[in-house]
């Protein structure tokens, strides 16, 4: 037996040597290899090619299999991480990567190389910055990333549906009253009394409602969770009414019912197929919606070819899109969420200086043009955000969608993050509240207030614990207090 096993070992060794010897070598010559962890989106191919052309001494490649947050953290901590950390999301993995200490502070380099926060639209310049405790004992905002693309939330609607049911298009100064009215008028029931055949609207997120009512998730310095405020509670009561009283936002159960019915497969497809009137989204939706445009134009041409004598076109309609800003409450300010998929540099990376070229590339015209043409939301650099640059020669009639993507910028708002509690913790507790609100029609405003207060108390306890137990967090807290930050809601001495 042992000779057999030794034989197997010898055979495997020989096969390994053969495989190693015959494996195709990476033809990068003396170029400096750079690895970017990101998704395997087909758009990455031209993006990588353009970079390699722009910086011929570097060879950029993507690593789609190791882009998960935990993989990047663990591999980078072991000095095996990528050079460029992609898929960094503000209010999510940005804080996690920074907490893990693997992102390189590029504030000074960014200024010199032209990809600092001043290159972003002023309203979102804060996007790339994170508060950190300096050696001098103060809290300062520093830059660690640059956006690959930026999105702003707004509403894209199907004009054909509005025309078909004689409903006026949404106004550019949309209010919640108007939105509810339009969404109700466009919610059309067919045979089924439970699932509409046409949905008026879809995709409302609680964030915009909370901000619109004057509430917030955290206070400005991140020392307190403020979801128990009167405004935030009112907002969630309103969210409850959207699902259950007004029924202008389908519950997951209703959505699941629709998904199976004919296999539509997702909100964007529903909009493209004329089953949904208004969809909360962003410019990136055009990536999918353009496919409908192509298919429907083809069907139209075929109809005309088959009906040469027809006096009037009666074939399938081609999708016509409109866009408007998200609604605001009467006499209140409008807010729309925004976010970005960003990239940062691994502090421990062997070629981190060269990787700076990549962040510089993200702010370049070459990269921005690719983002604009592909409709992959918007580039970060404000110099390349304009309706002329957004236009694609093959897709006419998108100007409204492009324009609102720009109009939404002044109303930008995103969830605040805290140095004292990870964003996933806030999200976990808030998601529970949301789930209960969505799944239970019977909840009273008092019940909702109770849920919000419980979630807030738990998050505030977590903040207090972290400050009490982590000396570095305590230092940051003391520094923030000196800089005028609000105190936490629990007395540290009482803990």
Task: Give the up-direction half-sphere exposure of residue 308: CA atoms within 13 A in the CB hemisphere.
Answer: 1
Smallest gap from Cβ 419 to another protein, in A, equals 9
Closest CA to 451 of 439, 463, 462: 439
Contact (CB, 8 A) for 153 and 205: yes
Q: Which is nearer to another protein, 120 or 419 (CB)?
A: 419
Shortest Cβ 434–another protein spacing (Å): 8
Q: Are 299 and 315 in contact (CB under 8 A)?
A: yes
**8 Å CB contact between 55 and 28:** no
DSSP, res 171? P
Alpha-carbon dihedral of residues 17, 21, 23, 29, nearest 10 degrees? 140
Cβ partners under 8 Å of residue 247, min gap 6 = 184, 187
Q: Which is nearer to another protein, 258 or 279 (CB)?
A: 258
Nearest to another protein of 431, 487 (CB atom): 431
Nearer to another protein, 253 or 301 (CB): 253
Residues whose CB is less than 8 angstroms from the CB of residue 484 and which lie 6 or more positions away in sequence, other chains included: none
Instruction: Using the minimum distance from each CB to another protein, give the nearer residue, 257 or 445.
Output: 257
Rounded CA-CA distance 199/189 in Å is 9
Nearer to another protein, 250 or 272 (CB): 250
The DSSP result for 408-468, as a single string, is TGGGEE-----SSS-HHHHHHHHHHHHHHHHH-TT--HHHHHHHHHHHHHHHHHHHHHHHH
Strand-pairing partners, residue 356, are none
Closer CB to another protein, residue 62 or residue 419?
Answer: 419
- Find the shortest distance in angstroms from Cβ 32 to another protein: 27
Q: How far is the CB of 309 from another protein (least distance, A)?
A: 40
Residues in contact with another protein by CB under 8 A are: 2, 5, 70, 73-74, 77, 96, 99-101, 192, 194-195, 251-254, 256-257, 259-261, 422, 424-425, 428, 431-432, 435-436, 438-440, 450, 454, 458, 465, 469-473
User: How far is Cα 194 from Cα 257, in angstroms, rounded to an integer?
Assistant: 9
Residue 165: φ, ψ to 5°: -105, 15
Taking a C-beta distance cutoff of 8 angstroms, is the pair 436, 451 a contact? yes
Cα 275 to Cα 187: distance, rounded to the nearest angstrom? 9
CB 262, min distance to another protein, A: 10
Min dist. Cβ of residue 196 to another protein (A): 12
| In the complex, minimum distance from the CB of residue 95 to another protein, in angstroms, rounded to a whole number | 10
Query: How far apart are CB 256 and another protein at their closest, in Å?
Result: 5
Considering only CA atoms, which of 91, 89, 92, 87 is closest in space to residue 72? 87
Q: Which of these, 201, 386, 393, 387, lies nearest to 290 by C-alpha position?
A: 393
**Least gap, CB of 298 to another protein (angstroms):** 31
CB of 460 to another protein, least distance (A): 14
**Closer Cβ to another protein, 79 or 261, answer by number:** 261
Three-state secondary-structure class, residue 263: coil
- 263 versus 308: smaller Cβ distance to another protein: 263
> Of 262 and 393, which has the nearer Cβ to another protein?
262
Other beta carbons less than 10 A from residue 173's beta carbon: 11
Residue 4 CB, nearest approach to another protein (Å) = 12
Distance of closest approach, residue 88 Cβ to another protein, in angstroms: 16
What string of DSSP letters covers 325-382? PPPB-TTS---EEEEEEEEEEBTT-TTHHHHHHHHHHHTSHHHHHHHHHHT-SB-S-G
Nearer to another protein, 100 or 373 (CB): 100
Q: Which is nearer to another protein, 255 or 320 (CB)?
A: 255
How many H helices and E strands in the chain? 19, 13
């Amino acid at each position: 037996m042992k000779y057999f096993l030794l034989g197997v070992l010898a055979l495997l060794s020989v096969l390994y040597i053969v495989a190693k010897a015959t494996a195709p070598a990476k033809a990068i010559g003396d170029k400096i290899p750079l690895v970017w962890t990101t998704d395997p989106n087909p758009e990455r191919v031209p993006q990588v090619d353009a970079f390699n052309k722009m910086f011929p001494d570097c060879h950029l490649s993507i690593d789609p299999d190791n882009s998960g947050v935990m993989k990047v953290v663990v591999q980078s901590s072991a000095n095996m991480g990528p050079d460029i950390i992609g898929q960094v999301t503000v209010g999510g993995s940005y804080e996690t990567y920074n907490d893990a200490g693997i992102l390189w502070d590029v504030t000074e380099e960014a200024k010199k190389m032209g990809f600092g926060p001043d290159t972003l639209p002023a309203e979102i310049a804060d996007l790339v910055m994170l508060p950190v405790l300096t050696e001098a004992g103060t809290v300062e905002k520093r830059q660690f990333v640059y956006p690959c693309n930026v999105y702003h939330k707004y509403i894209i609607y199907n004009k054909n549906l509005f025309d078909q049911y004689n409903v006026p298009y949404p106004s550019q100064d949309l209010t919640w009253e108007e939105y509810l009215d339009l969404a109700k008028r466009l919610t059309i029931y067919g045979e089924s009394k439970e699932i509409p055949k046409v949905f008026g609207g879809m995709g409302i997120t609680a964030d915009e409602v909370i901000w619109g009512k004057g509430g917030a998730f955290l206070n400005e310095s991140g020392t307190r969770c403020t979801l128990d405020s009167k405004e935030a509670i009112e907002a969630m009561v309103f969210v409850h009414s959207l699902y259950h009283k007004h029924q202008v936002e389908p519950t997951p159960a209703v959505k699941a019912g629709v998904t199976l019915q004919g296999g539509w497969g997702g909100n964007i497809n529903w909009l493209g197929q004329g089953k949904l009137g208004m969809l909360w989204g962003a410019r990136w939706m055009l990536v999918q919606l353009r496919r409908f445009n192509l298919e429907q134009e083809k069907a139209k041409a075929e109809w005309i070819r088959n009906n040469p004598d027809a006096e009037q076109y009666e074939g399938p309609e081609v999708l016509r899109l409109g866009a408007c800003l998200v609604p605001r409450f009467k006499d209140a300010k409008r807010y729309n969420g925004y976010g970005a998929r960003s990239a940062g540099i691994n502090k421990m990376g062997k070629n981190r200086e060269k990787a700076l070229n990549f962040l510089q590339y993200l702010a370049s015209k070459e990269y921005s043009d690719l983002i604009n043409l592909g409709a992959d939301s918007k580039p970060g650099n404000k110099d390349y955000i304009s309706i002329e640059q957004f236009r694609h020669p093959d897709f006419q009639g998108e100007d409204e969608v492009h324009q609102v993507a720009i109009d939404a910028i002044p109303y930008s708002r995103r969830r605040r993050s805290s140095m004292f509690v990870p964003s996933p913790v806030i999200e976990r507790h808030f998601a529970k509240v949301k789930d209960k609100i969505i799944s239970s029609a019977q909840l009273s405003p008092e019940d909702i207030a109770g849920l919000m207060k419980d979630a807030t108390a738990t998050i505030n306890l977590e903040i207090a614990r972290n400050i009490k137990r982590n000396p570095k967090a305590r230092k940051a807290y003391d520094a923030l207090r000196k800089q005028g930050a609000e105190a936490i809601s629990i007395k540290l001495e009482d803990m």
